[in-house]
């Protein structure tokens, strides 16, 4: 593994140069990779594996939308698409890509098929880390490994098709065969990762749950709403409030941050903006820091896991989620956004 310096801290990473696709193909040539679940990560990882020449089959319950999608994507019933039980039987590496809640429900079925020498693969540290709540305790004879793409399965696939690669973390929980490391790194490269950084199941789930509740998804919506509401209350129009809260960020400024960092984005804005941003950034940091402390504590105590398991294991959880997503969708802020997006010349 290559040692690299991240802002003064040395870490080991695996790059495609060091572990090229040909090496991944060689490592996995005798394996049957069974992707269990065809939701968001399932298709992204299964299609990238298939396009990378890896022997991959899909196990998905039917009838379901996901089963139909697997057929649309070219998986063939009885050849490369099976019931979950059949795929579990055939696979030597079981990629457990059901939703985290469904993983709990299906676990007894999966466990039964985990004969010695197989590998159990996750894309999240959830099931293993919170095993006091999930009861996911793998048998001793199997490798237990993780590759967690740091982004949506949709982006994993899109990036792959564009010749780019999403970063993933990887971890080994149990190395029963002595091959766990080669297996996990080969899988990480073969699912289309740009590069891989090492972690543990626990650190993966703690950071992931914090990130998605925090700056990636939860906090960002809260921040948008707070600013949008203040602008609206003070007489600004929806289009002005939306442009100044979201559109400029996603269209103009975040791409600059992605390209070259925050200081570079700042440097490409007016000195007026830079002065103000530098003056206000610490106030915002200090205002939200206690919320992030609460959040991390809630993740580390297992409370977030419990909330997620409790709600996602209700039979009507999808319907309820859809109602909440519809509320977001129908809010003035995101309706203003819909109108603004239509006005982008490339969408006209
Ligand atoms: N959504 C994403 O892009 C990311 C997900 N992950 C992780 O990847 C794993 C898979 O997540 P997603 O792809 O989001 O899952 P998902 O919510 O899209 O569901 C995956 C599959 O589970 C099946 N399923 C749900 N309930 C079931 C049940 N009771 N019995 C049988 N099958 C059932 C669905 O049919 C679907 O095919 C999770 O561990 C998640 O945390 C990690 C990184 C990003
Ligand atoms: C896309 C991703 O990595 C998330 C936000 O952590 C998730 O979907 O769980
Ligand atoms: Mg997540
Ligand atoms: Mg994540």
What DSSP line would sit under 295-324, residue for residue? HHHHHHTTHHHHHHHHHHTSTTHHHHHHHH
Residue 347 CA to residue 183 CA, distance in Å, equals 43
> What one-character DSSP code corresponds to residue 92?
S
Q: What is the dihedral of CA 66, 213, 145, 85, to 10 degrees?
A: -30
pLDDT band, residue 54 (cuts 50/70/90): very high
3-class state of residue 281 by DSSP: helix
Residue 239 CA to residue 340 CA, distance in Å, equals 7
Q: Is 38 in the pocket of ligand 1 (CB under 6 A)?
A: yes
User: pLDDT tens for residues 189-222?
Assistant: 999 999 999 999 999 999 999 999 999 999 999 9
Take atom 28 of ligand 1 and give the residue whose Cα is closest.
102
Is residue 237 a known part of a binding site? no
Separation of 240 CA from ligand 3 center, angstroms? 33
User: pLDDT tens for residues 256-286?
Assistant: 999 999 999 999 999 999 999 999 999 999 9
Which neighbouring-strand residues pair with 93?
Answer: 33, 119
What residues are annotated to the active site?
Answer: 124
Take atom 18 of ligand 1 and give the residue whose Cα is closest.
39
- What is the average pLDDT across 30-56? 98
Residues in contact with ligand 2 by the CB-under-6-Å rule are: 150-152, 208, 212, 216
Among candidates 100, 103, 102, which has minimal Cα distance to 111?
Answer: 103
Is residue 16 within 8 A of residue 195, CB to CB? The reply is yes
pLDDT band, residue 12 (cuts 50/70/90): confident
Nearest atom (ligand 1) to Cα of 127: 39
- The pLDDT of residue 2 is 83
Residue whose CB lies within 8 A of the most ligand 1 atoms, among 75, 97, 206, for a mutation test: 97
Token pair for 165: 């690669």
Residue 106 CA to residue 249 CA, distance in Å, equals 41
Nearest atom (ligand 2) to Cα of 209: 6
- What is the average pLDDT across 328-343? 97
Residue 55: in which H helix or E strand, if any? none
Examine the pLDDT at 1 and tell me if it is beyond 90.
no
Take atom 9 of ligand 1 and give the residue whose Cα is closest.
97
Could you tell me the pTM of the whole model?
Answer: 0.97
Residue 171 CA to residue 147 CA, distance in Å, equals 7
User: pLDDT tens for residues 105-125?
Assistant: 999 999 999 999 999 999 999
Q: Is 148 in the pocket of ligand 1 (CB under 6 A)?
A: yes
Examine the pLDDT at 5 and tell me if it is beyond 90.
yes
Q: Is 153 in the pocket of ligand 1 (CB under 6 A)?
A: yes
* CB neighbourhood size of 17 (10 A): 8
Nearest atom (ligand 2) to Cα of 124: 9
Q: Is 110 in the pocket of ligand 1 (CB under 6 A)?
A: no
Report how far apart, in Å, the C-alpha atoms of 306 and of each of 65, 101, 146, 193 are. 28, 10, 21, 30
Assess: ipTM above 0.95. Answer: yes
């Amino acid at each position: 593994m290559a040692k690299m310096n991240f802002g003064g801290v040395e870490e080991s990473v695996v790059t495609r140069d060091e572990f090229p696709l040909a090496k991944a193909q060689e490592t996995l040539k005798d394996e049957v990779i069974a992707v269990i679940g065809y939701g968001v990560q399932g298709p992204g990882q299964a299609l990238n594996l298939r396009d990378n020449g890896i022997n991959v089959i899909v196990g998905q319950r039917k009838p379901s939308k996901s089963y139909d999608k697997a057929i649309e994507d070219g998986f063939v019933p009885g050849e490369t698409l099976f019931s979950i039980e059949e795929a579990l039987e055939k696979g030597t590496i079981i990629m457990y890509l059901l939703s985290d809640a469904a993983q709990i429900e299906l676990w007894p079925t999966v466990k039964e098929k985990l004969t010695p020498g197989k590998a159990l693969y996750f894309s999240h540290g959830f099931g293993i880390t919170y095993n006091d709540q999930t009861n996911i305790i793998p048998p001793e004879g199997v490798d237990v490994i993780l590759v967690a793409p740091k982004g949506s399965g949709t982006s994993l696939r899109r990036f792959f098709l564009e010749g780019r690669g999403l970063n993933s973390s990887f971890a080994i929980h149990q190395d029963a065969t002595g091959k766990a490391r080669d297996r996990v790194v080969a899988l990480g490269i073969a699912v289309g990762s740009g590069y891989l950084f090492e972690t543990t199941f626990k650190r993966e789930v703690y950071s992931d749950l914090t990130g998605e509740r925090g700056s990636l998804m939860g906090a960002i919506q809260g921040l948008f709403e707070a600013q949008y509401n203040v602008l609206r209350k003070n007489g600004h129009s929806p289009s002005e409030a939306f442009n100044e809260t979201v559109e400029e960020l996603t269209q103009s400024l975040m791409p600059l941050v992605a390209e070259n960092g925050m200081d570079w984005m700042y440097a490409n804005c007016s000195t007026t903006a830079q002065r103000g941003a530098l003056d206000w950034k610490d106030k915002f940091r200090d205002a939200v820091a206690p919320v992030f402390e609460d959040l991390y504590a809630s993740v580390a105590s297992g409370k977030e896991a419990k909330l997620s398991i409790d709600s996602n294991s209700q039979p009507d959880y999808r319907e309820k989620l859809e109602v909440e997503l519809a509320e977001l969708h129908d809010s003035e802020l995101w309706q203003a956004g819909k109108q603004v997006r239509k006005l982008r010349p490339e969408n006209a």
